[in-house]
Amino acid sequence: MATAAEHNTDHHHEETFISKYIFSMDHKMISKQFLLTGMFMAVIGMIMSSLFRLQLGWQGESFWILNFFLGDKWAPDGILDPNMYLALVTIHGTIMVFFLLTGGLSGTFANLLIPLQIGARDMASGFINLLSYWFFLASSIVMIVSLFVETGPASGGWTVYPPLSALPQAMPGSGMGMTLWLVSMSLFVVSSLLGGLNYVVTVINLRTKGMTMTRLPLSVWALFITAVIGVLSFPVLFSAALLLIFDRMFGTSFYLSDIHVAGELLEQTGGSPILYEHLFWFLGHPEVYIVLLPALGITSEVIATNSRKPIFGYRAMIGSILAIAFLSFIVWGHHMFITGMNPLLGSVFTFTTLLIAIPSAVKAFNYITTLWKGNVRFTPAMLFSIGMVSTFISGGVTGIILADSALDINLHDTYFVVAHFHIVMGLSAVLAMFAGVYHWFPKMYGKMMNRKMGYAHFWVTFVCAYGVFFPQHFMGLAGVPRRYYTNSEFPLFDEFIGMNEMISVFAIVGALVQFIFIFNFFYSMFRGPKASQNPWGSNTLEWTTPVEHIHGNWPGALPTVHRWAYDYSKPGKEHDFVPQIVPLEEGELDGGAGH
Amino acid sequence: MVTFLIIVAIALASLAVWQLLRVFEGTAKLKGGDSFVPTDAENKYQGRMMLLFMFGYFAFFAWLYVRYAPHFLPESASEHGLVLDQLLDFNFLIITVVFVITHVFLFYFAFKYTYSSDRKATFFTHSNKLELLWTTVPAVFLAVIIVYGLSAWMDITDEAPEGSLTIELYPKQFDWTARYSGSDSLLGASNYNMISGVNPLGVITNGSLTSKQQELTEEIAGLKEELETVPKGGLKEEEIIETIGKRERQLARVSSFEGLEAASLVAGDDDILVKTEFYLPVGESVEFIFRSRDVIHSAYMPHFRAQMNCVPGMTTSLNFISRKTTEEMREITDNPDFDYLLLCNKICGAAHYNMQMVIKVVEPEVYSKWITEQETFAESIQPADEEGMAEATNVTRNEISMIEQ
Ligand code: HEM
Ligand SMILES: [Cu+2]
Ligand SMILES: [Cu+2]
């Protein structure tokens, strides 16, 4: 340990404002940069959803606020333009999936937690880490710029299937807006890869003495495997985007064939849009786990800490993470059951998809058992985590229906799918991200967030979230297609007018409530009470660092780890937690080592 | 003005909250003590809220079910749909039970084991028995679901029986055309190079071939004339030369269809193209074939539990047997205006929400009568007179603006 000790002693260079806050290479600062950028993007995504919910709730009616945000071109007389509706849905999805729940979530918590929880002074490469953030920022800026182009932003849905997305003749959003979308996503992939490689290398190489893989907190396990999945799957999205760029700009025909659009005959032949779908979903499905696993990791920490009880089945939890990661690469075809794929192939995808339900179920059961006979303390983070377990189950079970290729025939692309993935992915990850912020805010900013506002925020958010997405199952079962600007063109779905109104009210109230969180966040950052070193009584290493951030994280030598992260309420101990740095007593067994 | 007022309102509200917080802060300091973790009172309150939420959630579920289940899709109008509906019910039964049990445990435990400082949590790290239990039990249920589901899937995706009625459903932004194979039960060949105003599906017959060749030849001649009139070396010239090249290549491709077998060049003549609504004979097996003219669409017929993507550059298909006529379904749903619909269910552009066609399921006699009343493809491309011809070419030219509308 001598080298590490030497390394840290004189670590106080004078820092300028720029090197400290802007071009920082410190993982804690980069984590905060990711968080703030992600939050900013999320607010944009959220405003967009409120705008299209106005249209869906009161179809074809005029709202001055639509005109206020979108102008006369896209909301003449306050009535949303159908092209703009599709653009809003598309960019909302893109922002939420990629910018908030991939870049924002992994970027924030991998950066914050990996070095702090494994006992490292920083990421393996601070510079690559800095690049990762700056690519993310550049990508966000390009995405935002794309909102302002003449023909509108990309509007082919967040999956941007060609030929729709390849042909400017097919819709205005497939012009300049789509080009920028592709540029933005390419930058995003670069950011993810740089970040991911760094996380992987850091976890493998920089664990402190005693921090074996089976003593890692589940949050680190989750973030680690997430990074591995990302590194393996994002390049495929990159190639999909690249080929699409070629088709759009250079007349190649990877995805195009036999097309006669807007009175014009295209000469491209021999390509297949289905190829794009395969490439996209080869990333797309792992991507949903890239979103979900960090959320599960955060939940594991928060639930164990606040139940004052070891996470139940630590090894099974790791096993499920690994199983999910592996399976997530061989299920992508469940998004393509009705593209005319060979039915036999469809069967295989049904089979693998249903297999993934097993490790998912194990995780859910283990969370519930962790609560059992616990001593449950309801911090706001804990409320959000319990909420997350609930949404994970509620949305996960409908996955079983959709995974059944036969049932998917009639449910694919209906609101049932919208309900499924918003609940299981959107809500779970957003709730967990809130949990993470409430839980680690003291670590990030050295201040405490206001608890009462946290409670208010949780309950309104949670109720509104289910209020928005739960009813959508029922619309889906009635056959209501997704991505419809209005259902008023035929009487089939008239029964759902009232439901749409209700959903919109929940959506808008739920959106407004987020301002309580934003207020709490910034207020606490500046004026919140000063945090103590270990406010939640946690075992993990990040709570052994000083409240004021320092370069290198620990003032003296790096901590040595003697036990797993979950010695909560261990019999015979004075306190209901035993930090990982506390040596094992004579004859004491380490919980994580198994018996 | 309104904007300004709203900004003021928001500013004022934030100010109010800010002030409120200062009060909170003050009282917290007065009471002293560690205010970072929730107080006993707060824990108790939140624990109760958990339970309350659980009941609220279940009640919401029940209310939605009672209110909206009657508006789920009516009983299946196709044979295979009956199987699917059973499968769906079976799966729902399982997941609803899982959903309820896990939620009861989750929220009840949260409530029951609320924090108390004089209690310690049980140090319970794992249990191989329990974990084995909840790995194998889901596995068993899933095995049943898989077997049941896949047998239905293989049945449904089986090839259409010999002698099925073949109908092509052809989408473009933003409408559908249905093509029946006519008296010879054979759909004529088709190709996107052949598309024109009178031939929206690009059906290849001797008649359509000649008229497409003629149309292209005329267009090329016209373009060449125009070329003479534009300034040399300009952008316009380049553009025209490029267009001429495109049309010539198209003409070559079109002409190559002359090499098709003679039989397939007449198969299209008796094909029947219809728009806005199409008929199906009840009880007969129908095979649908799909292509697409421009982008991906999806043919969604929810009442028949049928859906298939329509992808440019390839053909897809599905088949089913209908089992209730439109009339019968009107009685079942107690809705005299009921109609089966074909919807587009893959985002395809601005008017994606309004790409529909009515499906009339009728007795076979009614169907036979209807089909004989329809114009065949050969008749439809026969220009009635000079005027008709002019109109036909106009349509091609105006298509761009039509589609844009
Ligand atoms: C029990 C496990 C799960 C199963 C069996 C499952 C199954 C499926 C299936 C079959 C679809 C395709 C539905 C369709 O488009 O017709 C789907 C869609 C989707 N699922 Fe899941 N899912 C599961 C869990 C998850 C999780 C954990 C996430 C995210 C964290 C997720 C996110 C999504 C998303 C984003 C889509 C929709 C993408 C789109 O079409 O826009 N699913 N799921
Ligand atoms: Cu998937
Ligand atoms: Cu369409």
The reply to whether residue B192 touches residue A491, judged by beta carbons under 8 angstroms, is: no
Region B26-50 average pLDDT: 76
Q: Mean of the pLDDT values across residues B227-241?
A: 88
Tokens 């994970």 label which residue?
A392
CB contact under 8 A, B126 and A312: yes
Q: CA-CA distance, A517 to B276, in Å (whole number)?
A: 51
CA closest to B76 among chain A residues:
A410
Could you tell me which residue, B12 or A96, shows the higher pLDDT?
Answer: A96
**Among all chains, which residue has been given the structure tokens 């091609």?**
B396
pLDDT of B383 higher than 80: no
Chain A residues near residue B104 by CB distance under 8 angstroms: none
CATH of domain A31-544: 1.20.210.10
Q: Which residues of A touch B38 (CB under 8 A)?
A: 377-379, 451
Tell me how far the alpha carbon of residue B189 lies from the centroid of ligand 2, in angstroms.
Answer: 37
Q: Taking every pair of C-alpha atoms in chain A, what is the biggest distance, in angstroms?
A: 83
Q: What is the pLDDT of residue A580?
A: 94
What pLDDT is recorded for position A594? Answer: 47
Burial class for A322, CB neighbours closer than 10 Å (0-12, 13-18, 19+): middle
Q: CA-to-CA distance for B18 and A520, rounded, in angstroms?
A: 10
Predicted confidence at residue B263, as pLDDT, reads 84
The pLDDT, as a whole number, for residue B12 is 58
Contact A362 B131 (CB under 8 A): yes
Which ligand has its closest atom nearest to the C-alpha of A428? 1
Cβ neighbours of A362 (radius 10 Å): 21
Q: Which atom number of ligand 1 is nearest to the Cα of residue A338?
A: 16
**Rounded (10°) angle between helices A105-118 and A273-307:** 50
- In percent, the amount of chain B with pLDDT more than 70 equals 86
Enumerate long-range contacts of B248-257, CB under 8 Å, 24 or more apart.
Answer: B248/B220, B249/A267, B250/A265, B250/B193, B250/B216, B251/B213, B251/B216, B251/B217, B251/B220, B253/B191, B253/B193, B254/B193, B254/B194, B254/B209, B254/B212, B254/B213, B254/B216, B255/B213, B257/B189, B257/B191, B257/B194, B257/B204, B257/B209
Q: What is the pLDDT of residue B22?
A: 59
Predicted pLDDT of residue A537? 92
Domain residue limits, chain A: 31-544
Give dist(CA B271, CA B310) in Å, integer.
20
Torsion of CA B26, B28, B30, B33, to 10 degrees: -150
pLDDT for position B405: 35
For residue A428, give the ligand 1 atom closest to its CA: 30
CA of A511 to the centre of ligand 3 (A): 31
> At A508, which helix (H) or strand (E)?
helix A497-527
| CB of A287 sitting under 6 A from ligand 1 | no
Q: Which domains does chain B show, CATH number per domain?
A: 43-115+129-156 (no CATH), 165-181+271-374 (2.60.40.420), 190-267+383-405 (no CATH)
How many angstroms separate the CA atoms of B212 and B220, rounded?
12
A521 and chain B in contact, CB less than 8 A: no
pLDDT at B397: 36
pLDDT at B360 over 60: yes
pLDDT value of residue B6: 59
- Measured CA to CA, the distance from residue B322 to residue B327 in angstroms comes to 13
Structure confidence at residue B18 (pLDDT): 62
Give the contacts of B97 (CB within 8 A, at least 6 positions apart): none
- Looking only at the bridges linking them, the beta strands covering B316-321 and B285-290 are antiparallel
Q: Is the CB of A292 under 6 A from ligand 1?
A: yes
Q: Which of A236-240, B10-14, B380-384 has the highest mean pLDDT?
A: A236-240
* pLDDT at residue A287, rounded to an integer: 95
pLDDT tens, residue order, chain A (595 aa)? 334 434 444 445 566 777 777 778 899 999 999 999 999 999 999 999 999 999 999 998 999 999 999 999 999 999 999 999 999 999 999 999 999 999 999 999 999 999 999 999 999 999 999 999 999 999 999 999 999 999 999 999 999 999 999 999 999 999 999 999 999 999 999 999 999 999 999 999 999 999 999 999 999 999 999 999 999 999 999 999 999 999 999 999 999 999 999 888 999 999 999 999 999 999 999 999 999 999 999 999 999 999 999 999 999 999 999 999 999 999 999 999 999 999 999 999 999 999 999 999 999 999 999 999 999 999 999 999 999 999 999 999 999 999 999 999 999 999 999 999 999 999 999 999 999 999 999 999 999 999 999 999 999 999 999 999 999 999 999 999 999 999 988 888 888 999 999 999 999 999 999 999 999 999 999 999 999 999 999 999 999 999 999 999 999 899 999 999 999 999 888 888 999 999 998 888 887 554 4
Q: Is A96 in the pocket of ligand 1 (CB under 6 A)?
A: no
Q: How far apart are CA A398 and CA A419, in angstroms?
A: 9
* Closest approach of A396 to chain B, Cα-based (Å): 9
For residues B227 and B244, the answer to whether their CB atoms sit within 8 Å is: yes
The Cα-based distances of A295 to A312, A429, A439 in angstroms read: 17, 5, 13
Q: What is the value of pTM for the model shown?
A: 0.92
Q: What is the pLDDT of residue B9?
A: 59
pLDDT value at residue B265: 87
| Of A105, A288, A355, A362, best ligand 1 pocket probe by most atoms within 8 Å of the beta carbon | A288
C-alpha B306 to ligand 1 mean position (Å): 20
Question: What distance in Å separates residue B168's CA from the closest CA in chain A?
Answer: 15
Give the span between the Cα atoms of A581 and A558, in whole angstroms: 10
Which whole-number Å values give the CA distances from A418 to A392, A425, A469, in the listed order?
Answer: 15, 10, 8
Under a CB-based contact definition with an 8 Å cutoff, are residues B322 and B361 in contact?
A: yes
How many Cα atoms are found within 13 Å in the side-chain-facing hemisphere of A418? 25
Backbone angles phi and psi of B203, in degrees to 5? -70, 140
- CB B37 to CB A535 under 8 A? yes
ipTM score for this prediction: 0.93
Residue B396: pLDDT band (50, 70, 90) is very low
Segment B213-222 mean pLDDT? 94
pLDDT of B302 higher than 80? yes
